[in-house]
Amino acid sequence: MLTRRALVATTGITALFLTSLAISPAIAHEQSSNKGQSKTVTLTAQLTELNGSGVTGNATAVVRNQKIRHIEVHASGLTPDAPHAQHIHFGEQARNECPTLALDDTNDDGRLNTVEGTPAYGPIVVSLTTTGDTSPASSLAVSRFPVASGGELNYSRDKINFTDVAGTGYSGGTGTAKQIADAVRAGEGVVVIHGIDYDGNGMYSFSEPEGASELDPSLPAEATDPVSCGVLN
pTM: 0.84
Selection from 146, 145, 173, 178 nearest residue 162 by Cα: 178
- Closest C-alpha among 183, 192, 219 to residue 116: 192
**Among 229, 228, 209, which Cα is nearest to 220's?**
209
Residues 141-175: pLDDT tens digits? 999 999 999 999 999 999 999 999 999 998 889 99
What confidence score (pLDDT) does residue 38 get? 53
225, 111 contact by CB (below 8 A) = yes
Is the pLDDT at 195 greater than 90? The verdict is yes
| pLDDT of the residue at 165 | 97
pLDDT in tens, 180-193: 999 999 999 999 99
Q: Distance between CA atoms of 122 and 166, rounded to whole angstroms?
A: 12
Cα–Cα dist 130/133, whole Å: 9
- pLDDT, residue 60, reads 98
Residues 27-61 have pLDDT tens digits of: 333 343 344 445 899 999 999 999 999 999 999 99
Other Cβ atoms less than 10 A from the Cβ of 105: the count is 16
Give residue 43's identity as a one-letter amino acid code.
L
* Domains located in the chain, CATH noted: 41-232 (2.60.40)
Cα torsion 190, 195, 200, 206: sign: positive
Q: How many Cβ atoms from other residues are within 10 Å of residue 120's Cβ? A: 22
How distant, in Å, are the alpha carbons of 18, 105, 153, 199, 206 from that of 211? 71, 17, 25, 11, 4
